[in-house]
Amino acid sequence: MATDRIVVLAGGVGGAKFVRGLRALVRRDLPSASITVVANTGDDLWLAGLRVTPDLDSLMYALAGVNDEQRGWGRAGETERVSAELTAYGVGWPWFTLGDLDLGTHIARSSMLRDGLPLSAVVERLSARWPLGVRLLPATDQEVETHVVTDEGELHFEEWWVRTRAALPARGFVQHGVEHATAAPGVAEAIRDADVVLLAPSNPVVSIGTVLGIPGIREAVRATAAPVIGLSPVIGGSVVRGMADACLAAIGVATDAAAIARHYGARSTEGVLDGWLVDEADAGAVEALEADGIRAEAVPLWMTDDDATGAMAAAALRLAGR
Ligand code: GDP
Ligand code: CA
C-alpha cells in the first residue's frame, strides 16, 4: 500500500504527541511521505482582545520542540508578567493563563487576522517560523466554537474544561457557528487525495468529533479511497490523561475502546472507520469489532516517547494495508 500522503485528524496535546511519533517514523522509514494535520479549532476563543487557538498551538509548539513537556501545554521557559498585568486590570479570565511567549503568538495571530488573512493563511505564516515537518491546517477558517450545555447554562468549552475542571455535568455540546462554516482550503482535497487517513488518539467528542462536524469533512472522510484508521484514546476503560470521560458521558458513550469505535462507526455502515487500533489491554474487543466491519488489532498504545508512538503509527499504517 502507498503511504506517500498521510492525513491525520487531531486535537491538541494528545494529537501533538501522536503526530510527533508519526513524524519520527516517517523521517526514519518513509522519507518520501508527507504528513498533513487537520487540527481542531473548536476550542478557539477571543480572550483579552486576542484570538487564541489552543489545539493549533499545542501542535505547533510540540512539533517545533518549544513546548513545555513538564506542564503538558504552552511554551517551555514561560513567564507570566503580562498575564499578571491583565489580571490587575480585570481583563481576560484569571484562571486561563496566557504566558508571555504564548501571548506573542496570539498577538501575531490576531494582527494577521485583523489584516484580513484567513486563519489557514495565518497558521501557514506562523508555522513557517519553525521546521514543523508537517503541513498544519485548521479544520475551518470560520469561527466555530464548542460550547458546553450544563444545568447552569451554556459556557465555552475552555471555561468548562479549565475553570470547572469538567466537574459541572455536561448535558451536551454545541458547535456555535457551524452552520456557516466550511472546511478550510486544502482540507477536503488532502483527505480526498490521501493514501491513508488517521484519526489520532484524541478526544473523540470535542477534538475529532468537532473536526468531523465541520461541513464537508465527515463527507470527505467517508468518500476518500484511502483507508481510514483510528487509534483508541482509551486504554483499559480509562482516558489515560485528562478528563475526556466527562465528554464521552455527556454524549452517552462509554469510556471504552470498542464503544468509541462503534461511536465513530464502520464506513460500510454510515460511519468513518475502516480500522481501529486498541491497546493490548483491550484485545478482547478485537473479534467483535471485526464482526461489526471494523478491522481491529491490539498493540501497545501508550505514547511514552516518540519511539513508542512511532510504533503505534506503524501499526496503524500496517492495518491500513491489510
Ligand atoms: P487536547 O485537545 O489537548 O485535549 O488533546 P487531544 O484531544 O488531542 O487528546 C487528548 C486525549 O489523548 C485524551 O483524552 C486521552 O484519552 C488521549 N491520550 C493521552 N495520552 C495518551 C496515550 O499515551 N495513549 C493513548 N492511546 N491516548 C492518550
Ligand atoms: Ca483541545
Whichever domain contains 194, its CATH number is 3.40.50.10680
Q: CA-CA-CA-CA torsion for 67, 247, 44, 213, nearest 10 degrees?
A: 120
131 in helix, strand or coil? coil
Is the pLDDT confidence value at 227 over 90? yes
| pLDDT at site 285 | 98
- List CB-based neighbours of ion ligand 2 within 5 Å: 11-12, 43, 55
- Per-residue pLDDT tens for 112-137? 999 999 999 999 999 999 989 999 99
Residue 127, C-alpha cell as written in the block:
508555522
Q: Round to whole Å and give the CA distance between 158 and 95.
A: 10
Query: Is the CB of 142 inside a 6 Å radius of any atom of ligand 1?
Result: no
Is the pLDDT confidence value at 148 over 90? yes
How much distance in Å is there from the Cα of 322 to the middle of ligand 2?
A: 31
Q: Round to whole Å and give the CA distance between 46 and 144.
A: 12
How much distance in Å is there from the Cα of 37 to the middle of ligand 2?
A: 14
Query: Looking at ligand 1, which atom is closest to the CA of residue 15?
Result: 8
| pLDDT at site 224 | 98
> In the predicted model, what is the mean pLDDT of residues 245-254?
97
User: Which residues sit opposite 154 in a β-bridge?
Assistant: 149
Is the pLDDT confidence value at 97 over 90? no
Query: Is the CB of 242 inside a 6 Å radius of any atom of ligand 1?
Result: yes
Range of the domain at 212: 5-43+132-142+179-321
Q: Look at residue 281 and tell me if it is in a domain.
A: yes
Query: Is the CB of 235 inside a 6 Å radius of any atom of ligand 1?
Result: yes
Query: Looking at ligand 1, which atom is closest to the CA of residue 231?
Result: 26
Number of domains in the chain: 1
How much distance in Å is there from the Cα of 17 to the middle of ligand 1?
A: 8
